[in-house]
Structure 1
Amino acid sequence: MKRIATLILFSLFAASPALADPIEGLWRTAPDDHGDVGYIRVGTCGASYCGVLERAENAKGEAIQPDTLGRKIVWNLTHSSATEYKGRIYAPDRDKEYMSKLELSDNRISVNGCVLGGLICRNGGQWTRVQ
C-alpha cells in the first residue's frame, strides 16, 4: 500500500510541469511608442509570475539590442481572477513603472498599467502568444 501511495505521489509531481499556468510562455508585445516590439518570457518567480525581455525588433522586424534585454518587464504577477493578473510592469519606451493588470483570453493578453493609485493609466495593447 505504501508503495502505491509513493508511486501516485511521484506521478503527480512528475506531471506538474505539464500543468503550467496559462500565462507562462513567450509573448510578443504590441508595438511601443517607437514601433518596437519585445518578446517577453513569462514564468514563475517564487510564488508569483514575472516576465523578462528575451529579444526585441524594430518596426521593420529587424533584431535590435536595447539595454533592457534581460530585464524584468512584468513582475509580482498574481491571479486576481481566473483570467486576470495584477502586478507591476515596466515600459521601456517611457522608462516608467506602472501597477499592471493583464487579462488573458486564449492566446492574447490585454495589458494595462496605472500610476498614482489608478488616476493615470496607459493601455499597453495586446500581447500575442508565440510559444
Structure 2
Amino acid sequence: MTRLPLVLVLVAISAHSAAANDLDGTWLRDDGNARVRIAPCGDKICATNLWIGDTSKGEAAGDKLVMTLARQPDGTFSGNAYDPKRDWTYSMTITVTPGTLATRGCIVGRLICRDVNWKAAE
C-alpha cells in the first residue's frame, strides 16, 4: 500500500463554525514523529507541522494542510483537505474525543486511506 504523507492525517473546518474549538490546539501523532498546530487561517483552518522527527518522507516543519470540513450528525467531521506542497486534495474524516483526534485521510476515490491517532500536547 502506498504511504500517504504524514500531514494528511489532520483536519479542519470553517473558522466560523463551533467545530474549530474542537480541533484548535497542538497535537502529537501517536507514533511520536510529528507535532502539529491546528488553528484558523483565513476562512479555513490549517494544520501546520511544528516538528517532524523523520523527514525522509518529504515532510518538514512549516508544511500546511488547508481544510474545509462539516460536522456530521454522528459528531464526526468530514470534507476535504488540500496539501499545497504536493498539490493533492484528500477526503478527510475526523473523530474528536476529549484530548484525542482519530483521523482518516484518503486519496484515489477513497481507495487508499490512512488512519492516525493524535493526542493533545501538554
TM-score, structure 1 length as denominator?
Answer: 0.59
Q: In 2, Cα distance between the equivalents of 1:75 and 1:100? A: 11
Please state if 1:121 is matched with 2:117.
no
Superposition misfits of 4+ residues, deviation over 4 angstroms: 64-67
Q: Residue 129 and residue 85 in structure 1: after superposition, are their counterparts in 2 closer, same or farther (change >3 A)? A: farther
Q: In 1, Cα distance between the equivalents of 2:79 and 2:121? A: 22
Deviation at 1:45, TM superposition (A): 1.5
Question: 1:86·1:102 contact (CA, 8 Å) conserved in 2?
Answer: no
RMSD value, Cα: 3.0
Please state if 1:108 is matched with 2:100.
yes
Q: Which runs of 5+ in 2 are unaligned?
A: 1-19
Q: In 2, Cα distance between the equivalents of 1:89 and 1:39? A: 19
Q: In 2, Cα distance between the equivalents of 1:113 and 1:129? A: 19
| Paired residue secondary structure (2:109) | helix
Q: In 2, Cα distance between the equivalents of 1:22 and 1:47? A: 16
Question: 2:80·2:89 contact (CA, 8 Å) conserved in 1?
Answer: no
Greater RCO between the two (CA within 8 Å, min separation 6)? 2
Q: Residue 28 and residue 89 in structure 1: after superposition, are their counterparts in 2 closer, same or farther (change >3 A)? A: farther
Q: Residue 116 and residue 67 in structure 1: after superposition, are their counterparts in 2 closer, same or farther (change >3 A)? A: closer
Q: In 1, Cα distance between the equivalents of 2:59 and 2:69? A: 27
| Paired residue secondary structure (2:66) | strand
Q: Which runs of 5+ in 1 are unaligned?
A: 1-19, 59-63, 91-95
Give the equivalent residue in structure 2 for 1:23. Answer: 23
Query: Which amino acid in 2 is paired with 1:105?
Result: T
Structure with max Cα Rg: 1
